[in-house]
Amino acid sequence: MCTNKHTIIESENIPIKLWLKKEQMDEGALQQARNLANLPFAFKHIAIMPDTHQGYGMPIGAVLATKGVIIPNAVGVDIGCGMCSLRTNLTAIDTDDLKEIVKRIRATVPVGFEPHATAQDESLMPVRKGHLPIVEQEYDNALYQIGTLGSGNHFIEIQQGSDGYIWIMVHSGSRNIGFTVANHYHQIASKLNTADGEHVTSDLAYIPESSEYFELYKNEMNYCLAFALANRTLMMERVKTAFKQVLAEVEFADFINKPHNFAAEEEHFGETVIVHRKGATRARQGEWGMIPGSQGTRSFLVTGKGEAQSFNSCAHGAGRIMSRAQARKTLDVKTEVKALKEQGILHAIRSRKDLDEAPGSYKDIDEVMNNQQDLVDVQIELQPLAVIKG
């Protein structure tokens, strides 16, 4: 069945609403969406964004509302992963200055799995409130990881905006502290479900609100959300310093922050539910957000339309069209590099191991944006000038 907005699958316990054609979904992601729709506590329908692809337990680019339970794997292992953007007062930047800025960023922002060599100032960390056992366990290590990019699809990008200004965008998450919290509570959820004789797939193990671990997970998840923001904020400050060292007159404004891996209590369809967004961005009416492409394609600053059927959500990026292993195996380094060079982009592809983040491994961002015209309004288009990848 189709509407003018989305495709609806009605073969499961509750509908699955797709902001893309069914045949555009990989089979793994589609089966995961079906699993979500058959959860006894899933509310109303499942919303699948146009950038969706298979994840762990729940598709990336999916929105699940629940009644009375929270699912750690429906938030994911990178709790609070998201993006922030900042506008400069620059209208152009020459290549030599751009290269020097990138060099200085690389000197102050560790990438990949690298931490800082020394612990960062504790004042940069979110304040701890209440009982946070895993946060306390990982806190000292986190002092070395705040202000670091991480690996995978995380990036720092310098962009030319359609508004005439140079923008900065940072994509990163909660590093190891979020990973450890996520795994800890997923294991607890699995044990709780086994003890109760539940037959929910282990990848979607849940914590009922009657459990003492329900509030514990929420509190630790919220700390990880705050840490992820602090992490991005510190990286953005280091990027700003690099700009100031090269271009003394630069100024900054319009900071935007949006997570896309989190769960939150919200009102939808007249009821209070827990909305899990895994690789999906909240897009309430007028709410600003970011939807990046790849390092070779445009990104977008958008405002939400508050579409009820998507639980006020939209895509979080272009979404993968092939796995990381498949990209490294099938894509060609020279072809991908040539395309980036032709656009004049200072890119992050050096060898075959970097092909998992090549533009060819991602969906067509224009198609993704076209599929969610009812979810967001594009305000500014951003063309990549220089990219630092994890």
| CATH number of the structural domain spanning residue 191 | 3.90.1860.10
Question: For residue 344, is it within any domain?
Answer: no
Structure tokens at 122: 């504790």
Question: For residue 82, is it within any domain?
Answer: yes
DSSP letter, residue 120: P
pLDDT of 164 strictly over 90: yes
Question: For residue 172, is it within any domain?
Answer: yes
Contact status, residue 146 vs residue 86, Cβ threshold 8 Å: no
- Could you tell me the residue range of the domain that residue 111 belongs to? 7-321+362-389
How many domains in the chain?
1
Question: For residue 309, is it within any domain?
Answer: yes
Give the pLDDT score at 18. 98
Annotated catalytic residue: which of 186, 276, 316, 347?
Answer: 316
**Identity at 275, one-letter amino acid code:** V
Q: Determine whether 316 is an active site residue.
A: yes
Question: For residue 352, is it within any domain?
Answer: no
Of the candidates 92, 157, 145, which has an alpha carbon nearest to the alpha carbon of residue 119?
Answer: 145
**Span 178-188, pLDDT tens digits:** 999 999 999 99
Q: Which residues, 6+ apart, have CB-to-CB distance to 338 below 8 Å?
A: none
Question: For residue 340, is it within any domain?
Answer: no
Structure tokens at 353: 């191991």
**Identity at 300, one-letter amino acid code:** F
Strand partners, 301: 290, 380
Question: For residue 332, is it within any domain?
Answer: no
Residues 7, 5: Cα–Cα separation, whole Å: 7
* Placement of tokens 């989190």 in the chain: 262
Q: pTM of the prediction?
A: 0.94
**Identity at 55, one-letter amino acid code:** G
What 3-state DSSP class applies to 132? Answer: coil
pLDDT of 197 strictly over 50: yes
What 3-state DSSP class applies to 264? Answer: strand
Question: For residue 242, is it within any domain?
Answer: yes
Give the pLDDT score at 199. 66
Structure tokens at 84: 């922030």
pLDDT of 2 strictly over 50: no
**Span 22-70, pLDDT tens digits:** 989 999 999 999 999 999 999 999 999 999 999 999 999 999 999 999 9
**Span 228-269, pLDDT tens digits:** 999 999 999 999 999 999 999 999 998 999 999 999 999 999
